[in-house]
Amino acid sequence: MAIRLRTIFFIALGLITLLFLYIEREILIPFILAAVFAYVLNPIVDFFSDKIKLPRTLIIIVIYVAIITGIVSLGTIITRQVLHESKELTKFTANITSMTREQINLLPSWLKPEVENILSSLDLGKSRFLSPSSIINIFPRALSGIISTIIFLFSAFYFLKEGKKIFDRFLYYLPKEYRIEAEIILRKINNVFGGYLRGILILMFVVFALTYIALTVLGVRFALILAIFSGFAEIVPFIGPITAGVVASFTVFLNGTSNFPLTPIQGALLTALIYFLIQQFQNYLVSPHIMGRMVGLHPVVILFSVIAGEHLWGPMGFVLAVPTAATIKILLEFYLDKINSKDYSAKRS
């Protein structure tokens, strides 16, 4: 009876904790990003700490310095290009309506009404973005961003330094009869989360590099910005790459290409083909080797998880949806295996 009451207590405590985290989900973003950062870099810290016997604090400080130095160095190299493209993009956005109307006549008659509806939406969104109230709101958002950055850096440092102690402390507070099973489950979940997040980062970089090279060779305006957007779009399975391809094709349709004598429609179709080929290269050559069958989810389940994650948690749900779904799968499989093993033992006896 005491064991059942303790089990009910822990289940109720877990549900209350999940409810609290969902209610306060907005303030959790820097902590979640810090946990993601720690998941990605923890193998490096473990290697230098366990193999070379360096203090974890020193390793983390060196990693922080290396990352900041890399960002600054890389920033000095690409800042001019990004600023140049950003200025052009601002002018392009301001004139996008008039530029698009010039190209409408090239479209089929059945498609023209849809494009005109999109243009009207862009005009409305642009006016709202440039309103005084939206500009005034930038300052508190900037202050909030600075505070979130400080929280992120502090939390990531703590997670990297005390990660193992947090894990052991959590197991210590569990009932003894559940510790072994909980440790097995948590290690499986840890492998899924860490591997998935590191795999996503590699895929983002691969897509960014291939897209930037292809768009630069083609002579597409805003090649760097489009490539960065395409890399980040990999966070959202299926929908993200399609959206990136549509945005790039639409941009080429309006601006054309500078290195090849192509019509706007030909340039847009060629850009769409490039994105399609990059996705095929990723799906058949890159993803199987990087991600493997680590997640083990059906594509429909992944798509549903991403949509549900965005609906429940906004942009952060995109990042956490797939590993969370994989975690639920691990828990269900463990529970079903346990039930099956009990039934088998009962039949044997």
**pLDDT value, residue 141:** 63
**pLDDT value, residue 308:** 82
**Has residue 83 been placed in a domain?**
no
**Has residue 80 been placed in a domain?**
no
**Has residue 294 been placed in a domain?**
yes
**Has residue 160 been placed in a domain?**
no
Please choose, from the candidates 40, 32, 28, the residue with its C-alpha nearest in 3D space to the C-alpha of residue 199: 40
**Has residue 194 been placed in a domain?**
yes
Contact partners, residue 209, CB within 8 Å, separation at least 6: 227
Q: For residue 275, what are the domain limits?
A: 177-343
The first and second tokens of residue 295, run together, are 């997640």
Number of domains into which the chain is organized: 1
- Which segments of the chain have a pLDDT < 70? 1-4, 6-7, 10, 74-143, 286-296, 299, 342-349
Helix, strand, coil content of the chain in percent (nearest 5): 85, 0, 15
**Has residue 209 been placed in a domain?**
yes
**pLDDT value, residue 92:** 57
**Has residue 55 been placed in a domain?**
no
Distance from C-alpha of 33 to C-alpha of 159, rounded to nearest angstrom: 11
Q: How many CA atoms lie within 13 A of 209 on its CB side?
A: 8
**Has residue 224 been placed in a domain?**
yes
Using left for φ > 0, alpha for ψ between -120 and 50, and beta otherwise, residue 169 falls in alpha
Distance from C-alpha of 158 to C-alpha of 166, rounded to nearest angstrom: 10
Distance from C-alpha of 233 to C-alpha of 213, rounded to nearest angstrom: 17
**pLDDT value, residue 135:** 45
**pLDDT value, residue 163:** 79
